[in-house]
Structure 1
Amino acid sequence: MPLRNAHPSVRAGGAGRTDEALPPPAERRSPRPVRGSRTERLAPYVLIAPTALIILALRLYPLLLGVNFSFTGDGERNGTAVGVDNYRELFGDPLFRTALGNVGLLVLLLPVAVAIPGLLATFIYLRVPGHRLYRSVYFFPAVLSPVIVGAIFNLLLAFDGPLNAALSRAGVSPVDWLGDPDVAMFAVVGVHVWATFGMALVVFLAGFATLDSALLDAARVDGASLLRVIWHVIIPRLTRTIQFVFVTTMIGMLTSMFGLLYVMTSGGPEGSTYLPEYYIWIQQGQMNRPALASAASTVLFVIMLVVGLLQITLLQRAGRDD
């Protein structure tokens, strides 16, 4: 019986195969993608143009001016090119070297500052009893002014304050939290973490909203412990959120501790709590050395850039390994 709907070549060849009559898939013409109009192609650039111009005018241009100003002199040499003299003076200043050492301490403590809100967000996401109350309580310190936080902890951490009184009742000798050079920086960093981790907690909770709950249910069915769930399920799925929190927390620790330092220690004792931002303020506001302050600002920017890129690279590798 003849094939009515067969290809002409099939009908002509009798019992020939249809795949020989049709061209191979590679030779078939695929439909060309429909290109949008010129207006549609330009629309994304038009939308980001105002933000790009604002960043260029208010961020990048002043940054370049500051870098250029750091190669000029102060005082009698104001406005004259001095090369790298400001940078030589910076790295020869014991206070600035102490500030750089404290930056290294902050980098080492950064995982702890990120892990605390991450763990608390995990507990809240798993709906521990009272999780709604904890969410509000943990975020509350983030709305307080650093001056208020510093004043509160000055009272709590005073040598004759309530914390040392509680330690004395427990048989522990009192600690000079803000007067001991070996302890003061840890105390200030601890207060800063307590005052700011609420914002990171909110970011982690937003990341948990994108997590597939079926993965957690499967892990529970398999009998995985909480630590295994965190390490093998939560962390790999929240890699980008962790990257964001790492970078923003680092920026906050390097650029947002001035209020606490000013109220709690004023850079003391013996300059042990100096950070680059406090050093910049001293040189600019008290010593009237804006060029040297610009050099310190440039060094701080480079440190933040390098540390941020290293953190993102390490976290991306960890995410690929998992």
Structure 2
Amino acid sequence: MAAPALSPVRPAPAGPTRRRRSGSRAERLAPLVLVAPAVLIIVGLRLWPLVLGVNFSFTGDGDRDGVMVGLDNYATLFSDPLFRTALRNVGLLVLLLPVAVAIPGLLATFIYLRVPGHRVYRGVYFFPAVLSPVIVGAIFTLLLAFDGPLNGLLGGLGIGPVDWLGDPGVAFFVVVAVHVWATFGMALVVFLAGFATLDQSLLDAARVDGASFPQTVRHVIVPSLKRTIQFVLVTTMIGMLTSMFGLLYVMTSGGPEGSTYLPEYYIWIQQGRLNQPALASAASTALFVIMLVVGLAQIAILRRAAGKED
């Protein structure tokens, strides 16, 4: 008896499997396609100019334009008393940074706790952030003039006039104070956004336990807003280093005696007035390194402090 013929084995249709594979490949590529325009913009408009600027800082000015001069520009920078003054002022900004962050933080705390008039305060505190630095500088130049309203008020109280913008030991701190007044509204908004994530039960527990306001701030609010504080610290420091040009130009023009110089203003002087773009590029590179080091140091300190509290 003949054995029955075996029917040939047909391979399973590969259509659905291929579709699944092609679908998974498209899903993997979709995020890259969506991110690609932003990456190209960042590389083309941020990273590539940064690389060109760093490379340009190793070339010469004037007769040596385009000639590689190595570290000569950096040697010139650190031998310039004005640039050393600018670096000293950066150190003062780092020391004043906690105050610049604590002010909007405390005001945001008062608003979050709904002090009387908190809705009005929110708008009043943010209003200076929409003013141009030139306008702010012009207003405070008039207010702080030697014969201005502030000294007139001090004279009525029997206090001698102060040369707010003409005294080398006072002018820089005055400009920083005006900058903090003009910009802390944005940090205030960031802190209020951070308070939206705060667990209300922690505040209620602290209130039940009889914690004072300083204890509540130290043991409840600060640990809960550590990410927000990190963000505000870094952005405030960057703003101090890169956004005070308008105030410096209008209020002091780098004076008196160069005491209010910052790297940003020094860069403009070298490029805009002295026509030394290579030296200005070296100063820009130094400013970038300063911001990077200070920002990373702040984040590391805050993370270490948060780790100890945990």
What is the TM-score with the length of structure 2 in the denominator?
A: 0.91
Which of 60, 71, 89 is residue 73 of structure 1 equivalent to?
Answer: 60
**Amino acid paired to 1:45:** L
Q: Which runs of 4+ in 1 moved over 6 A?
A: none
Partner of 2:212: 225
Q: What is the CA-CA distance between 1:51 and the residue it aligns to? A: 1.2
Look up the SS of the partner of 2:265 in the other structure: helix
In the alignment, structure 1 residue 279 sits paired with structure 2 residue 283:
no
* Structure 2 unpaired stretches of 5+: 1-20
Tell me, in whole angstroms, the C-alpha distance in 2 between the residues paired with 1:163 and 1:211: 41
| Structure-1 separation of matches of 2:307 and 2:36 | 34
Q: Which residue of 1 aligns with 2:30?
A: 43
Aligned length: 289
| Residue 186 in structure 1 maps to residue 173 in structure 2 | yes
Cross-structure match for 1:168: 155
Q: CA deviation at 1:39?
A: 2.2
Q: Which residue of 2 aligns with 1:53?
A: 40
Give the CA deviation at 1:41: 2.5
Q: Which residue of 1 aligns with 2:290?
A: 303
Deviation at 1:43, TM superposition (A): 2.7
Deviations 1:20-39 (A, max 9, x none): xxxxxxxxxxxxxxx98222
Q: Secondary structure at the match of 1:233?
A: helix
Which residue does the alignment assign to 1:115?
102
The letter of the residue matching 1:317 is: R
- 1:1-322 aligned at under 5 Å gives the runs 37-322=24-309
Q: 1:137 is aligned with what amino acid?
A: V
Q: For residue 283 of structure 1, report the CA deviation from its aligned partner.
A: 0.3
- The residue that corresponds to 2:3 in the other structure is none
| Alpha-carbon distance in 2 for matches of 1:47, 1:220 | 48
Superimposed CA distance per residue, residues 172-211 of structure 1 (whole angstroms, 9 cap, x where no aligned partner): 1111000000000000000000000000000000000111
Q: Once the two structures are superposed, what CA deviation does each residue of 1:227-274 show, in whole Å capped at 9, x if it has no partner?
A: 111111111111111011001000100000000000000000000000
Distance in 2 (CA, whole Å) between partners of 1:219 and 1:161 is 47
RMSD: 1.3
**Cα distance in 2, alignment partners of residues 156 and 68 from structure 1:** 44
1:130 shift after superposition: 0.3
Q: What is the alpha-carbon distance in structure 2 between the residues aligned to residue 224 and residue 50 of structure 1? A: 51
* Counterpart Cα distance in 2 of 1:222 and 1:46: 54
**Match of 1:113, as an amino acid?**
A
* Residues in 2 aligned to 1:167 and 1:45: alpha-carbon distance in whole angstroms: 63
Calculate percent identity across the aligned residue pairs: 81
Distance 2:193 2:93 in 1: 26
Work out the CA distance in 2 between the residues paired with 1:67 and 1:280: 14
- Cα distance between partner residues in 2 of 1:46 and 1:173: 66
State the SS of the aligned residue for 1:37. helix
The alpha carbon displacement at 1:87 in A equals 0.3
The residue aligned with 1:8 is none
- TM-score if structure 1 supplies the norm length? 0.88
Tell me by how many angstroms 1:165 deviates.
Answer: 1.1
Q: Matched residues in 2 for 1:203 and 1:248: separation?
A: 11
